[in-house]
Amino acid sequence: MRGGPRLWGLMAEFRTPQELVDAAARARAEGYRRMDAYSPFPMEALSEALDLPASKVPRLVLVGGTLGALAGFALQYWVSVIAYPLDVGGKPYNSWPAFIPVVFECTILCAGLFAVLGMLALNGLPMPYHPVFNAPRFALASRDRYFLCIEARDRKFDRQATRRFLEGLRPSEVAEVAA
């Protein structure tokens, strides 16, 4: 490969959670948008500093639940009115109160499936490999270190300028992440 391996981004390692949150906020203020942070535990302040968009999963769950309810009702209607109409105690064929348990169960089933499958799809999973695993010392992200990675595909990314910016945040180390 010409010019060495392709670059995924630059990753800075920090010792404390607050250093990572401050670094993410400064990077955002500096104009970087394509970045991600890694820590051994979830941090709400970090999500705010990165200005992550709202999750799309709740809308997917609503769509799934609605489709499930409609499908459950359609199934019950088709069975009770069209395919196998039975006169039970003089009740009408389209006795919707009797449909409620099946409609409810179909709603919950489809909403749950949309939640799980939507979450997997939106997270890009399953992803057995990611370029950040190439970063030296990244294994510490699951123990006691905090990382901020600015991706090379960011509009503002410049190898030297971004490296200088990250080094100005006073991290333990700044490393290149090969793609």
The per-residue pLDDT for 89 is: 85
For the chain, give every domain's residue range.
Answer: 7-53+131-178, 57-122
Whether omega before 126 lies within 30 degrees of 0, making that bond cis, reads yes
Residue 3 binned pLDDT confidence (cut-offs 50, 70, 90): low
For the stretch 88-98, pLDDT in tens is 888 899 989 99
CA-to-CA distance for 22 and 169, rounded, in angstroms?
9
| Cβ neighbours for 7, distance < 8 A, ≥ 6 positions apart | 152, 159, 176, 177, 178, 179
Please give the Cα distance from 100 to 108 (Å, whole number). Answer: 12
Is the pLDDT at 4 greater than 70? The verdict is no
Token pair recorded at residue 131:
């370029």
pLDDT for res 69: 98
Average pLDDT over residues 33-45: 95
| DSSP character at residue 82 | I
Please measure the distance between the N-terminal and C-terminal CA atoms of the chain and give it in whole angstroms: 12
Residues 135-151 pLDDT 10s: 889 999 999 999 999 99
Locate 100 and state its tokens: 């409620």
Residue 84 pLDDT more than 70? yes
Q: What is the 3-state secondary structure (H, E, C) of 10-22?
A: EEEEECCHHHHHH
